[in-house]
Amino acid sequence: MLDKKLKPNNMNYTISTETIGDYKLELVPDDNPLNPREDDNICKIISLHKNYYGDKHNYKTYDYNNLEELIAAIKKGEDASIVVPLYFYEHGGIIVRTSPFNDRFDSGMFGFAVVSKETIRKNYDVKRISAKSIQQARSSVEVEVEMYSQYINGDIYGFKVIDKDGCVLEDGYGYYNSEDCLIDGRRFINDLIETNNHNATLEQDNIRYESNK
């Protein structure tokens, strides 16, 4: 299930532009990213936020007298080895993480990241869940929560390589790190320049050869 609200309404803009030779490299938002929750994930994100679904679940806060009852129900229902509280800060965009923001106006509890015992056994190929496998899973939770936070906030990037006539020669999307995105864009341009220079050299050599016949 996709989230109701994924990103700012207007994603049709350029974040930054740089010129390399005769080419322009644009860093742009990815306006149609893949939902990371549709991948094979270690954790299940149980969202209690009204606008962001996370993963499918049937837990409702009004079914429980307090937070402790809800957590106990999640542990039992998911056969969970790990239950990590998630918090949000929402002011324009939204950030989700595993530690509180301590802002009583714009932050609160988002939900939980849950890892089942079976998931740990399967992913780390263990029969007995150890402190090491718990720590490995906990580290994966941090990565997955950060990716989910970027996804719902629209912090995923793409690049466009544009020639002097305004034609898009290459593009790429789905980057969670803007610098990695730019590195790939620059690499394409540099390879293109190198190829063009090589072809120009061959052309000059052919011209000289023809003129010396």
Q: What is the pLDDT of residues 189-205, one digit of tens each?
A: 999 999 887 565 556 65
Do residues 43 and 116 both lie within one domain?
yes
Q: What is the mean pLDDT of the chain?
A: 89
Do residues 101 and 203 both lie within one domain?
no
- pTM of the full predicted structure? 0.81
**5: in domain:** no
- The residue range of the domain holding 140 is 36-153
Do residues 43 and 147 both lie within one domain?
yes
**7: in domain:** no
Using one digit for the tens of pLDDT, what is the confidence trace for 36-71? 999 899 999 999 998 898 999 999 999 999 999 999
Do residues 45 and 77 both lie within one domain?
yes
pLDDT the model gives residue 102: 86
Domain count, the chain: 2
Quick one: average pLDDT of 110-129? 96
Quick one: average pLDDT of 118-138? 96
Do residues 50 and 143 both lie within one domain?
yes
**80: in domain:** yes
pLDDT band at 18 (very low <50, low <70, confident <90, very high): very high
pLDDT the model gives residue 109: 94
Do residues 142 and 185 both lie within one domain?
no
C-beta of residue 59 within 8 angstroms of C-beta of residue 20: no
